[in-house]
Amino acid sequence: MTGPNGGVQPSSSKRIKIKPLNKETLVIRGTLICLFLLTIYGFLTFDYKDISFIGGVVATLDNFGVMFLEPHFAHFTFWEAAYQVLITLGLAVLTTIFGAFIALLLGLLSAQNLSSKAMSNTIKGIIAFIRAVPTVLWVLIFAVAAGLGSVAAVIGMTFHSVGYLTKAYSESFEELDKGVIEALKASGASWWQIICQAVIPSSITYIISWTFMRFEINFGVAVAMGAAAGAGGIGFDMFMASGFYFDLREIGTITYFILAVAILLEFIAMRIKSRLKTNV
């Protein structure tokens, strides 16, 4: 901004505003300091037996070196590992599809601009409870009835996917322009016509993005469920290699397979998001 004498005057909009310390800031900083001090105290007082901290770090690095620098196939071949990865991907795809269809309906019913307040609050309360329980616990709960295996893993993972996607979908629906919905209601459109002609087309990019993000999460969960719930797939092979064979090199091989699929999924997600941005 130029002054009357030709000099440059600082703009008032670029001034840095320093907020004074308030109660919330003091509480947050005090909590972080206490946690930091407790962490240091825990490291200093922990019973390390006869193992020194430096020796433990060196041994850990040696194990990582053996794991990632000397991978090999001992109890399965390359194609068998690829087949197990496909099984894990199948679990992720199945649970994501089931969860997305159920969550889409629940998301429509829980959106405050598309449903009654009582129904919206009821569904959101139930979904909050489902989302608060970890996926592993849901799998173990359903394992009581279905037994450990892929069935309990699919039901438990679908349960948590429904809780996750319902919240994401409903928040996307609630951000729609109320004027469009009111105009359709005034023209005599039914609830399903409003959903099909306004809500879904306007939110399709968010629906696809949230669904694929949940698919990536479900892939990681499927790996864990293969070990914890006996659901099969590459996770079960990792559990066998670590818990029964004690083969660090084979664990490294399985880890590379999982990382390759995770990177591939991230690449596909970036391509989908870029395509959605260009089509909007």
We report the CATH number of the domain holding residue 168 as: 1.10.3720.10
Domain of residue 251: give its range.
Answer: 78-279
Using CA atoms, how far apart are residues 181 and 176, in angstroms rounded to an integer? 8
Number of domains in the chain: 1
User: What pTM was estimated for this model as a whole?
Assistant: 0.75
Residues 182-210 as b/e (b if ≥16 CB within 10 A, e otherwise) read: eebeeeebeeeebbeebbeeebebbbebb
Q: How far is CA 223 from CA 3, 84, 159, 216, 230, in A?
A: 65, 10, 17, 11, 10
* C-alpha dihedral sign at 265, 266, 271, 277: positive
SS3 189: coil
**Under 8 Å between Cβ of 216 and 39:** no
Q: Is 55 within a domain?
A: no
Using CA atoms, how far apart are residues 169 and 15, in angstroms rounded to an integer? 39
Q: Is 73 within a domain?
A: no
Per the prediction, the chain carries an average pLDDT of 82
Tell me the β-bridge partners of 2.
Answer: 8
| Local confidence band at 279 (pLDDT 50, 70, 90 cut-offs) | low
Q: Is 177 within a domain?
A: yes
Residues in CB range of 32: below 8 A, 6 or more apart: none
Q: Per-residue pLDDT for 35 more than 90? A: yes
Tokens of 134: 């970890």
Q: What is the pLDDT of residues 157-175, one digit of tens each?
A: 898 899 999 999 988 888 8
Residues in CB range of 176: below 8 A, 6 or more apart: 113, 198, 199, 202, 203
Average pLDDT of 249-269? 87
Q: Is 126 within a domain?
A: yes
Q: What is the pLDDT of residues 117-150, one digit of tens each?
A: 888 889 889 988 888 888 888 888 887 777 777 7
Q: Is 45 within a domain?
A: no
Tokens of 99: 């969860």
Q: Per-residue pLDDT for 272 more than 70? A: yes
Q: What is the pLDDT of residues 52-93, one digit of tens each?
A: 778 878 888 888 888 888 888 877 788 888 888 898 898 899
Q: Is 240 within a domain?
A: yes
Q: Is 67 within a domain?
A: no
SS3 21: coil
Q: Is 85 within a domain?
A: yes
| Local confidence band at 97 (pLDDT 50, 70, 90 cut-offs) | very high
Q: What is the pLDDT of residues 160-215, one digit of tens each?
A: 899 999 999 988 888 887 777 788 778 877 878 888 888 888 888 888 888 988 99
